Amino acid sequence: MDVQKPPAGIESGPPPPNVNKRGRVMPRNRPVNDPHLIDILRRLGTPATLAAAQRIEGLIANKPPEVRQALQKPEVMRALKKDIKREGGQSAWAKRHDMTPQHVFDVLHGRRGPGGRILAALGLRRVVSYEPLDAGS
């Protein structure tokens, strides 16, 4: 019985780690918490892929909370000014986020504080915290 050798240029041996059994190239280093991966697993609909999607969602739910840096009002205002500059001006930014240019002007000039819609447009939220008074005061 003759054993055929692979054609020149094709190495024999185990396939690279990103090639599955059918020879398809699979993406490398896909993060476990990638929502597209979970969606793909759910669409496949087999019991194994549904179980894998549940395991991944469980890993995401059990991970420790991220430590976020709280921003002060001046930092929020800098972020707003930077975003307005990137958009091309106050009117364009206001129109894109369904606000009046006057409201944006008032916030920029300190007549109003940045409200919920402006914070949401910047990807921020307002968090209020309270600290205990010193015992000596």
What is the predicted pLDDT for the residue at 2? 59
Q: What is the mean pLDDT of each run of 10 residues along the chain (137 residues)?
A: 56 57 61 69 81 74 65 90 92 92 94 90 84 71
What is the predicted pLDDT for the residue at 49? 79
CA distance 76 to 82: 10
What is the predicted pLDDT for the residue at 127? 84
What is the predicted pLDDT for the residue at 136? 60
Q: Which residues pair with 19 in a beta bridge?
A: 25
What is the predicted pLDDT for the residue at 10? 54
What is the predicted pLDDT for the residue at 92? 93
What is the predicted pLDDT for the residue at 89? 92
- Name the pTM for this structure: 0.48
What is the predicted pLDDT for the residue at 58? 73
Q: Single out the residue of 32, 112, 45 nearest to residue 80, CA to CA.
A: 112
CA distance 74 to 80: 10
